[in-house]
Amino acid sequence: MRSLLLRAAATALTLAVAVLSARHVAAHLRDPAAPLHPPVVSAGTGPLPAGSGGSLQLTPDVRTTDLPPATSTYVS
């Protein structure tokens, strides 16, 4: 009887932790301003932070490189 109670308690605790964790993660995914939200560094999936505080969006057919730029686009 005692071991059955212990198993039930362990199962309930595990389920509770899983549910709470899922709720926590889901809430933070939906909140871009949530603390510790990781920056997204990928092409075509959403805005990512760029050098001067703006947001950059790339479609899959545009690639970045580590090469030094030959020239740049800028406001004139």
Partner 1 sequence: MRLERRCFEALGSRCELLGLDLEPGRLRRVAGRVAEAHRRFTRFAPESELSRLNAARGWVAVSPELEGLLRAALEAHRLSGGLVHAGVLPAMLAIGYTRPLAEGGPTATTAVPAPPPPLPELLEVERGRARLRGGGLDLGGIAKGWLADRLARELGENCLVNLGGDLFARGPGPGGEGWPVGFGGVTLLLRDRGAATSGTWRRAWSDGGRRLHHLIDPRTGGPAESDLGQVSVVADTAFLAEVHAKAALLLGRELAPAYLAGRARAWWLG
Residue 2 touching partner 1 (CB under 8 A): no
Query: Is the CB of 25 or the CB of 40 nearer to partner 1?
Result: 40
Is residue 8 helix, strand or coil?
A: helix
Rounded least distance, CB 47 to partner 1, Å: 8
Judged by CB under 8 A, does residue 67 bind partner 1? yes
Q: Which is nearer to partner 1, 20 or 49 (CB)?
A: 49
- Torsion, Cα 12 14 16 17, to 10 degrees, reads 160
CA atoms of 59 and 42, how far apart (whole Å): 10
Q: How far apart are the first and last CA of the chain?
A: 81
Closest to partner 1 by CB, 3 or 65: 65
Residues that bind partner 1 (CB under 8 A): 47, 50-59, 61-76
